[in-house]
Amino acid sequence: QVQLVESGGGLVQPGGSLRLSCANSGFTLDYFAIAWFRQAPGKEREGVSCINNGDGTTYYADSVKGRFTISRDSVERTVYLQMSSLKPEDTAVYYCATATDWGYSKCGGAQGLNDYWGQGTQVTVSS
């Protein structure tokens, strides 16, 4: 059973920072990209960033480029999203997912038959 668990969300002031974590268990993810998505109220879900667990290829959406950094700890089986210079428009529920078509298209790796999602973590940027 694949399990992805996000943590690290919270309330932060504009300009602040947060680090999200996505811990995975259940099977090896070496061949798949891990991606972060977000969904704000009333908006469609959007891909934010991804990382190829195999070769380390990364991708960032234009809206977060230069402010967010994705990284992985293979030993801890955890992917991180370091978010800096946060803006109110970054407010959303953030999800990590693996074996998604979006992650495959942006970061490569293997293409899975099924995708897997975490439960999400709320990030609120407000003064």
Low-confidence ranges of the chain (pLDDT < 50): none
pLDDT of residue 110: 85
Distances (CA, A) of 15 to 7, 18, 66, 71: 20, 10, 13, 21
Element (H, E) at 38: strand 33-39
